[in-house]
Structure 1
């Protein structure tokens, strides 16, 4: 993926100078295949940036592949600076970090990288060109991108026989102005919750589309600007009927909410419909707290099932029924910390946004969140855990870092 700028990253990347295995080419394919793998487990590492001396940039796809073909550089030794968020590469004697390769058509080089942070990269879930580099080299030809080139904050929840996905502002290739009233898709329920497991990641979304076959918004309410949703979840009513529920916010003037309400999915129309307006700025009152953010289900010692809402830790709960969610008088405030201590040095870590879920592996409630401030503005991701949704929450450990790059609203998928 040849780029003039680095387009972002999901976890981070790393290489060791000179650790490359090179195979001679056959000449059948014009591209020189560069594979980047984790030295610890040989997993492919997506989103590694290679840059030539003349500043031509390439980025690995979800298979950890770069397809290199520059006519004036083929058959010659080429130096690549290799940079990434959260990973380190040893400097050579002159302070440069990278590798020297000799690209030949049809050839291949394997570059091993080391991971310096706790989180392991799996890959991009959305956007375009997820396997574009591999396809140039003739592999992963069965893959087809979903049709969007970028999207904002994600919401996910199991609903009936599938997983429902929703995203905020969404970019499409035909024009800079894309979808601003929530794009969405569905995928089959995974066979196992160890999902997606080992890379490369290949999640095939069934996007909701218009009559022209193009991705569309799924909350078509009149609005002066974008419509964002939060707290999306599936709840059953007293008769056992399942409802896909969400809180919507109408936005204007960039980030200013002027209306909030509850919306429910219409299965026939395949879109959300407003069922209750909770607040409008014209009332002159402050916006109320709502069951938004991320959701997590919890059964207490008395056997009562609750659903907790918040970002990253819960600030509200209600009984896990459709009727309880529908009426604000059933919503209860919850107190959780907004500052934790670092495991490393005991320093304060201010919580910004994130999510919480039960971990069957850890047998604990776990949360990942972005630090407010830190070495990278909204780019440092931390982990903490607790015996219950309300705590007590342990000291936090940093699991992902970025070099002056934001990574807001990290999500633990239920």
Structure 2
């Protein structure tokens, strides 16, 4: 038996920072020679409090999804340090990505390591442990955020009919880490985040194509396409739904396709954005990433599939580096006042080194294309980062950068070790549009 319980020690504060600008870097993993793993939180901090690591020389392998340190003579990428109780270490990493990691937007323990060091988190815990792909639209005087399947603390199965939250129109005051998004979640009578899209029928409800459009009386209506799911990914019903302000949930408007109806009709999927044609007519364009369909920017047109029009999808861009085709998986398009062009962020289908973890940037004079050469702006070490969404609503008018988020998940990768707390959550990145590395995007 132990003679007595080990006394608590003051942890060693480890700061992970970008060598170029000194910014904290979230999501950098330190791994010891005996496989203990530690991951920096949204403040770029790790609290080392394990007695076997203190007051002795320790080697940490460093892994950071586009942030790294130089290799040594044996090819190892890491650092040799001597952590001390109550001490401080600073590890500088070199950013290989063009995009800069700002931090995690969702999930629990975003500042867990900071808390161990006595630093108070800027926001209370949300009650959400993980969530799938984001949709976001400006609706009235708020930004409306919606996520797909959501993992909760109390059981492996969570909410499968979309959770949602509101923020002010300018919820982030700065665009460098650490960040904390002040969501106000829709909750049940017990205070837990709840589903907001309980469409009739068995199985999960997934939403897409969410937008706020005016009706004939000028009142904004928050609308979306819904899918009812069976099995893992199979749709058996697709239809339209509308946000009911009184019920604070999405309500079914109409089903437009059901399993057994044959080929699916034209559908308004993806991340919609506004566009005016040469005659000044206002449209909503839908695609994932590039436009495939459009409807007039009114509730009446959105709710009448007969008015929808098909768009010939643009050809896949080619790499600015070697000219090879970069086939898009999912992504989004916005107008950039700074570049004075349409810009796109998308996940590459079957990319390398990660099958669905390589993120590319492209530009065009028209949202319908053709798209110029694409530049890779974000990579992952055998991990997935899918359904990226550019948030033009978050950044100041004319800002020389964009921000985008995506779902960071071990799904669809080659048996990776899931990253504690970060896995199956949303991570925000910043892309400086005046970065010389984007010069090839023409």
TM-score normalized by the length of structure 2: 0.84
Residue 286 of structure 1 pairs with residue 263 of structure 2: yes
2:9–2:49 CA contact under 8 A, matched in 1:
no
The alignment status of 1:62 with 2:31, answered yes or no, reads no
Aligned to 2:232: 254
Q: Look up the match of 2:62.
A: 82
C-alpha separation in 2, matches of 1:130 and 1:142: 10
Contact in 2 for aligned 1:28/1:105 (Cα 8 Å):
no
* TM-align CA RMSD: 1.6
Counterpart residue number, 1:402: 380
The match for 1:14 is none
Does 2:175 match 1:197?
yes
| CA shift in 2, pair 1:133/1:408, >3 Å | same
Q: Contact conserved, 2:13 with 2:87, CA < 8 A, in 1?
A: yes
**Residue equivalent to 2:358:** 380
Per-residue CA deviation, residues 19-57 of structure 1 (Å, 9 max, x unaligned), is: xxxxxxxx9971111011111111110000001111110
Q: Is contact 2:345-2:360 (8 Å) kept? A: yes
Map of 1:10-409 to 2, 5 A cutoff? 30-190=10-170, 196-282=174-260, 284-375=261-352, 376-409=354-387
Cα gap change, 1:373 to 1:95, in 2 (>3 Å): same
Q: Distance in 2 between matches of 1:404 and 1:369?
A: 17
- Which structure 2 residue ranges, 5 or more long, are not aligned? 1-6, 393-442
- Kept in 2, the 8 Å contact 1:146–1:204? The answer is no
TM-aligned CA deviation for residue 298 of structure 1: 1.0
In structure 1, what is the Cα distance between the partners aligned to 2:201 and 2:184? 26
Q: Is the 8 A contact 2:362 2:375 kept in 1?
A: yes
* Cα distance change on mapping 1:196 and 1:224 into 2, 3 Å: farther
SS in 2 for 1:297: strand
CA–CA separation in structure 1 for the residues paired with 2:371 and 2:74: 46
- The whole-number CA distance in structure 1 between the counterparts of 2:125 and 2:176 is 20
The 3 A distance-change label for structure 1 pair 161 and 346 is same
Q: Say whether the 8 Å CA contact 1:338–1:351 is kept in structure 2.
A: no
Unaligned runs of 5+ in 1: 1-26
Tell whether the 8 Å contact from 2:314 to 2:370 is kept in structure 1 after alignment.
Answer: no
Corresponding residue SS for 1:411 = strand
Give the aligned partner of residue 436 of structure 2. none
Residue 191 of structure 1: CA displacement? 6.9
Over residues 302-324 of structure 1, what are the superposed CA-to-partner deviations in whole Å (9 max), with x where a residue is unaligned? 21111100101110011111111
Do the aligned residues in 1 keep the contact of 2:275 with 2:284 (CA within 8 Å)? yes
Question: How far has the Cα of 1:124 moved from its partner?
Answer: 0.8
In structure 1, how many angstroms separate the alpha carbons of the residues matched to 2:167 and 2:9? 35
Give me the whole-angstrom Cα distance separating, in 2, the residues matched to 1:270 and 1:235.
17
Aligned in 2, Cα 1:393/1:177: closer, same or farther, shift over 3 Å? same
Find the aligned partners of 1:191 and 1:381 in 2 and give their Cα distance: 25
3-state SS of paired residue (1:41) = coil
**Structure 1 residue 351: deviation in Å?**
1.4
C-alpha separation between the residues in 1 aligned to 2:15 and 2:67?
17
Secondary structure of residue in 2 paired with 1:133: helix
Name the CA shift for 1:142/1:413 in 2 (closer, same or farther; >3 Å).
Answer: closer
3-state SS, counterpart of residue 70 of structure 2: coil
